Structure 1
Amino acid sequence: MSLLDESGPLAIATRLLRLSEQLRRDSFLLFKELGIDFQPKWFPVLYILHHKPVLSVLELAAEIGYTHPSTITLLKELEKEKLVRSKKDKQDERKRLIQLSAKGEALVLQMQPVWQLVAAAATELLDTPHKLLEAVTEVEHQLKEKSFLARAKAFLPGESAAEST
């Protein structure tokens, strides 16, 4: 066990990032081994647009839980790869509507059987007494109720719980 692992809750963000990177790396290697040109970071956008075919950038950002700038960066990459396309909203020309391109739709069709493999492997991995997925969902809900920043500030000398909400 490393010193970071022994630090307990102090390194939770680092450990979650490390876990995420390992899962993404192994997923990438799986796709590569199966001859599919796919980056795991593209998954949330392709998955959402497969199920909700036309979304504004803001709607897409809300669906995937990313900031607007992060979503724009990812969309630029996907547009460069010709996996998504955008058009102006006829009702509001300031809005861009995003949808899968023909190439993106073909990739999703190619990916669907692999998504089933990934889901099966993840289900096996997550089948522990501690129920990680349920815990992550619970923590995400708690962060919506009260941010980590507010929680940490509540422990500052002179701060009260009422001031930090």
Structure 2
Amino acid sequence: MNVIDESGILAISTRLQRLSEQIRKEGFLVYAANGITFEPKWFPVIYTLHLKPVLSVVELAAEIGYTHPSTITLLKELEKEKLIRSKKDKHDERKRLLQLSDKGKKLVEQMQPVWGIIIAAITELTDTQNNLMKAIVEVEQQLQDQSFFERAKAIMRKGH
């Protein structure tokens, strides 16, 4: 065990990030093993635009749960790779509407069978006594009810 592992709940953010990075890194290997060049960090944008073909930047950010700046960073990468395209909204010139390019649509076609493999492997990985997906949903609900910061402030007020 290292210091972070030994610190328990104090390092939960670090451990979740570490877990996420490992799954992303190996997800890249799964795509590569299937002849697909794809960065797993692009997944939320590609998948969302696959299901909801035309979205504004603000709508997309809300769908994936990322901040506007984080979403813009991903969009720039995906536009550079020519996987998405954008056009101005006819009703609101300030708005950009995003959609998968033809190259992006072809990529999704290649990826769909791999998603089944990923689902099976991740399900096997997370189907533990304390199912990780169920726990994530529970924690996300707790955060919606009251933020981490609000909880900490309440504890500070109690003089903990």
Following superposition, the deviation at residue 3 of structure 1 comes to 2.0
Following superposition, the deviation at residue 155 of structure 1 comes to 2.1
Following superposition, the deviation at residue 31 of structure 1 comes to 1.3
Q: Which has the higher contact order (CA 8 A, sep 6+)?
A: 2
Superposition TM-score, scaled by structure 2 size: 0.96
Match of 2:39 in 1: 39
Match of 1:113 in 2: 113
Question: 2 CA distance for matches of 1:141 and 1:43?
Answer: 23
Question: 1 CA distance for matches of 2:133 and 2:70?
Answer: 24
Match of 1:163 in 2: none
Match of 1:152 in 2: 152
Give aligned-pair identity as a percent. 68
Root-mean-square deviation (CA, aligned residues, Å) is 0.9
Following superposition, the deviation at residue 25 of structure 1 comes to 0.4
SS at match of 2:14: helix
Superposition TM-score, scaled by structure 1 size: 0.93
Match for 1:58: what amino acid? V
Following superposition, the deviation at residue 73 of structure 1 comes to 0.6
Residues 10-159 of structure 1 correspond to what in structure 2 (within 5 A)?
10-156=10-156, 159=157
Question: 2 CA distance for matches of 1:45 and 1:145?
Answer: 27
Q: Mind listing any 5+ residue stretches in structure 1 that lack a counterpart? A: 161-165
Question: 1 CA distance for matches of 2:20 and 2:64?
Answer: 16
Question: 1 CA distance for matches of 2:86 and 2:128?
Answer: 42
Q: Mind listing any 5+ residue stretches in structure 2 that lack a counterpart? A: none
Match of 2:3 in 1: 3
Aligned length: 158
Following superposition, the deviation at residue 33 of structure 1 comes to 2.1
